[in-house]
């Protein structure tokens, strides 16, 4: 609930299709991807019989298009309602509803299993949980869940003592709504006002309100159609925000003066390039407004005084294709993180009078991948990865080359700076977890180097870390590249499998994402325990397309190297089979958004490897989406995937792997596919068209289900229990299809 300090990260570290921070299989939520099973019979690799219910069959309607002399037939194009974002085509809605009915009819037989899984998963969640209070100014801020509640309450109280003050009750705001999500929040510098934004249908078009914390009343101000954050400026008399265009693009930084109608809001900066996105935040000392714009490979930053946001702006350095940079300001000096002379970024400084003259502070390194930095009064912190593992380093302004690393005891882990909102800070809040260590919150004393554990994720139903073992191994991909794989399992896995009557290698769930330079850390998951306790191994493949091993690792999985991502995943699975961790047909896999694209590509390439696949909001109609510049995110995605409109080679390459276009007449594994009718990131028709084409061409009798959330978007259902119920459905599907659903 505190106003966060500006986070200095390369722009491409947050890809738009990748921003599925809450979709049910996300590796970026508190828990890693969720899949569980019950190792109970020797028939683990035997898929369940096909449904007796007749699946929907989408009508084929003639449609084709031609680019670069290549004609593509697309008979399911009609599932794309051309009035989008309004979806009112009755034929489209009837088909989506028919698929939902088919999903419900098939899953009805698994209702008891689903409920049992939900009960088990929920028992690992501390219902009356709260965050560790953190200081900002004269107050301590925290949030908490009450027992049974779907949503959080947010509080503060004076540091000097006194009663807690309720700032926001998400449960009250969500009452009567099918969907609710709290977006950007920002406390004014004087502590009096709270600005917050809410989304009530999953479309990611937020509405912002302002609450006077002195009176408890809301101001008349209401800012509709918000996508960007909320930043207080002009001595708490105004807010900077990012409005949404009709295409869900954020091309402006706009100023709203409190007490004036939104129609009179002033545009501080407007981006002409439709592929770029605009964001804004405050510098470390909160005296400069930092306005950033960029796509997945190029960026540009402007500075303007926060107390005079309509004043003269300073352009730090004009954009140059392929150069990404981000900045912060301290005592009149600009600090710059940039990849202009090294692929893994350098840290530089410049003056406000010569902002484009960057003088190196820390040189780029082939070994150390510099991912971010934060400035404080007496020191600064650099974050990065060394050999794929997170690093946090304190540095002195006078001796920046002398790093003081914060060390952790485990060989494989995920760690980073947490919320540290004050510039004059001597104790840093950190987050830490590993595949066997639950999420932990530490305070680090910058003077003594001492680490104090403040809180570790509590698992009410019990957890004994000593019963689990984690490994990090490498598997050779087909081009000779060594792919890191993090894996966790029970120490007594062999005994569990034997007791369950499973002969030979046991089941294994494999997860990866592989896009936008987003690394998947070896973190902890409470839901994953259901999988491990039944004899599964769980593996994360750190494939190219993410930046787990540095920026080059990311570049080797984008544009014309995109198929490396898919090959890495397939080869990682085959390597785990060869090493005896599992067997063909006993590998289950899942992914969402761009990770859903991964799922589509791997089943086209090697369907026999997998016993069950779950694809959440999958980006599978890649070619059509990249050809449609009217869609919300398409122009901004061209640097990631290529522009098939202007580039014949890009058209041919995307066509060669686009999961929808490459569906063929062959056997596919059992699949559960999800979609959100209001999803602006991966539009509903991508999974709908994909499932329709799979139904037409696949030669097997394996179950194929499509579930579309009619009142939600990219993140699935909102509320912690609703989300867990969807997870339980997912688990039940996998258990069923792996022939392991008889014991709950």
Helix pair 685-697, 90-107: axis angle to 10 deg: 70
Helix (H) or strand (E) holding 623: helix 622-627
- Segment 667-681, tens digit of pLDDT: 999 999 999 888 777
| Residue pair 727/34 in contact by the 8 Å Cβ criterion | yes
Longest dimension (CA), the chain: 73
In DSSP terms, 210 is beta-bridged to: 195
CA angle 119, 121, 123 (to 5 degrees): 70
Q: Tokens standing for 333?
A: 């000096």
Backbone φ/ψ region at 289: left (φ over 0), alpha (ψ -120 to 50), beta: beta
Crossing angle between the packed helical segments 90-107 and 720-737, to the nearest 10 degrees: 70
How far is it, in rounded angstroms, from Cα 417 to Cα 443? 10
- 235-243 own/partner pairs: CB under 8 Å, 24+ apart: 235/189, 235/307, 236/188, 236/189, 236/190, 236/192, 236/193, 238/309, 239/186, 239/195, 239/208, 239/210, 240/268, 240/280, 240/289, 240/309, 241/184, 241/208, 241/280, 242/278, 242/279, 242/280
Q: Determine the 3-state secondary structure of 592 from DSSP.
A: strand
Q: Tell me if the bond preceding 85 is cis, omega within 30° of 0.
A: yes
Q: What is the per-residue pLDDT across 26-41, written as a single tens digit (0 to 9) for each?
A: 222 222 222 222 222 2
Question: What pLDDT sits at residue 19?
Answer: 28
pLDDT for res 45: 36
User: Strand pairing of 482-490 and 508-511?
Assistant: unpaired
Closest CA to 574 of 618, 544, 620, 541: 541
b/e string for 40-62 if b means 16 or more Cβ within 10 A? bbeebbebbeebeeebbebeeee
Quick one: pLDDT at residue 504? Answer: 86
The secondary structure of residue 235, as a DSSP letter, is: T
| Phi, then psi, of 419 in degrees rounded to 5 | -85, 115
Cα–Cα distance measured from residue 692 to residue 688, given in angstroms and rounded to the nearest whole number: 6
Q: Where are the domains of the chain?
A: 24-123+462-737, 128-169
Which pairs from 260-269 meet CB under 8 Å and 24+ separation? Answer: 260/221, 262/221, 262/222, 262/223, 262/224, 265/223, 266/310, 268/240, 268/304, 268/309, 268/310, 268/313, 269/293, 269/302, 269/313
- The pLDDT tens digits for 317-330 are 999 999 999 999 99
**Contacting residues for 132 by C-beta, under 8 A, at least 6 apart:** 142, 429, 441, 454, 455
Look over the chain and give the mean of its residue pLDDT values, rounded to a whole number: 89
Q: Cα(128)–Cα(564) distance, rounded to whole angstroms?
A: 44
Note the pLDDT of residue 39.
Answer: 27
Kindly calculate the radius of gyration of the chain based on its CA atoms and give it in whole angstroms. 25
Residues 6+ apart with CB under 8 A from 181: 22, 198, 199, 202, 715, 718
CB 582 within 8 A of CB 506: yes
What is the model's pTM? 0.87
CA distances, 507 to each of 314, 494, 735 (Å)? 57, 11, 11
- Predicted confidence at residue 410, as pLDDT, reads 86
SS3 of the chain: helix, strand, coil, percent, to 5: 20, 30, 50
Give the separation between CA 385 and CA 396, rounded to whole angstroms: 20
Task: Give the residue among 196, 207, 206, 215 at the shortest CA–CA distance from 152.
Answer: 196
CATH 3.40.50.1820 for domain 24-123+462-737, yes or no, is: yes
The residues carrying an active-site annotation are: 593, 679, 714
How far does Cα 61 stand from its chain's mean position?
35
Ranges of residues in the chain with a pLDDT under 50 are 1-49
Q: How many CB atoms lie within 10 A of CB 693?
A: 22
Q: Which of these, 657, 623, 661, 618, lies nearest to 642 by C-alpha position?
A: 623
């Amino acid at each position: 609930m505190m106003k966060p300090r500006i986070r200095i990260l390369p722009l491409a570290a947050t890809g738009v299709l990748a921003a599925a921070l809450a979709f049910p299989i996300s590796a970026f939520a508190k828990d890693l991807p969720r899949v569980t099973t019950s190792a109970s019979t020797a028939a683990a690799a035997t898929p369940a019989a096909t449904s007796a219910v007749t699946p929907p069959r989408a009508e084929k309607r003639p449609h084709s298009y031609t680019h670069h002399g290549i004609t593509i037939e697309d008979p399911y194009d009609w599932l794309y309602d051309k009035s989008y974002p309004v979806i009112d085509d009755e034929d489209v809605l009837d088909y989506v509803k028919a698929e939902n009915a088919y999903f419900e009819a098939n899953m009805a037989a698994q209702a008891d299993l689903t409920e049992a899984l939900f009960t088990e998963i929920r028992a690992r969640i501390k219902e009356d949980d709260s965050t560790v209070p953190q200081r900002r100014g004269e107050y301590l801020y925290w949030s908490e869940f009450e027992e049974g509640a779907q949503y959080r309450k947010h509080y503060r109280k004076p540091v000097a003592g006194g009663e807690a003050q309720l700032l926001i009750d998400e449960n009250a705001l969500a009452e009567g709504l099918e969907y609710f999500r709290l977006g950007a929040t920002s406390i004014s510098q004087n502590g009096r006002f709270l600005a917050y934004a809410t989304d009530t249908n999953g479309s990611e078009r937020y509405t912002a309100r302002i609450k006077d914390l002195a009176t408890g009343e809301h101001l008349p101000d209401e800012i509709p159609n918000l996508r960007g954050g909320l930043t207080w400026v002009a001595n708490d008399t105004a807010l900077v925000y990012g409005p949404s265009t009709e295409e869900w693009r954020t091309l402006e930084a706009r100023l709203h003066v409190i007490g004036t109608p939104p129609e009179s809001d002033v545009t501080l900066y407007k981006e002409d390039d439709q592929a770029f996105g605009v964001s804004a935040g405050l510098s470390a000392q909160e005296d400069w407004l930092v306005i950033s714009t960029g796509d997945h490979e190029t960026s540009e930053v402007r500075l303007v005084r926060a107390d005079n946001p309509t004043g003269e702006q300073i352009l730090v350095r004009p954009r140059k294709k392929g150069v990404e940079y981000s900045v912060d300001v301290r005592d009149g000096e600009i600090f710059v993180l940039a990849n202009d002379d090294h692929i893994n970024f350098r840290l530089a400084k410049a003056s406000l009078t010569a902002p484009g003259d960057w003088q190196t502070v820390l040189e780029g390194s082939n070994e150390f991948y510099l991912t971010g930095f934060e400035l404080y009064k007496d020191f600064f912190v650099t974050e990065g990865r060394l050999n794929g593992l997170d690093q946090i380093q304190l540095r002195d302004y006078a001796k920046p080359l002398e790093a003081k690393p914060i060390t952790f005891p485990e060989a494989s882990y995920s760690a980073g700076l947490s919320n540290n909102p004050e510039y004059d800070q001597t104790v840093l809040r950190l987050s830490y977890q590993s595949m066997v260590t639950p999420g932990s919150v530490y305070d680090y004393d910058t003077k003594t180097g001492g680490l104090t554990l403040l809180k570790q994720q509590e698992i009410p139903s019990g957890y004994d870390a000593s019963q689990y073992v984690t490994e990090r191994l490498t598997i050779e991909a087909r081009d000779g590249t060594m792919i890191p794989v993090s894996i966790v399992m029970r120490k007594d896995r062999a005994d569990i499998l034997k007791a369950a009557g499973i002969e030979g290698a046991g089941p294994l769930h494999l997860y990866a994402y592989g896009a936008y330079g987003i690394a998947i850390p070896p973190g902890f998951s409470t839901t994953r325990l259901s999988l491990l306790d039944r004899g599964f191994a769980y593996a994360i493949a750190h494939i190219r397309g993410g930046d787990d091993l540095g920026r080059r690792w990311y570049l080797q999985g984008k544009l014309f190297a995109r198929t490396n991502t898919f090959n890495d995943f397939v080869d990682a699975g085959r390597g785990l089979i060869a090493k005896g961790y599992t067997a063909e047909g006993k590998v289950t896999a899942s992914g969402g958004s761009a990770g859903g694209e991964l799922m589509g590509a791997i089943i086209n390439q090697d369907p026999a490897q997998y016993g069950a696949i779950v694809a959440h909001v999958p980006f599978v109609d890649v070619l059509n989406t990249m050809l449609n510049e009217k869609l919300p995110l398409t122009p901004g995605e061209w640097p990631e995937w290529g522009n098939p409109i202007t580039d014949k080679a890009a058209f041919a390459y995307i066509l060669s792997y686009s999961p929808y276009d490459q569906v063929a007449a062959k056997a596919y594994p059992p699949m559960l596919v999800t979609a959100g009718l209001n999803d602006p990131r991966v539009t509903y028709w991508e999974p709908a068209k994909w499932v329709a084409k799979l139904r037409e061409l696949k030669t097997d009798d394996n179950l194929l289900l499509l579930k579309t959330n009619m009142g939600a978007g990219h993140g699935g259902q909102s509320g912690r229990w609703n989300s867990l119920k969807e997870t339980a459905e997912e688990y039940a599907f996998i258990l069923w299809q792996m022939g392991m659903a008889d014991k709950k």
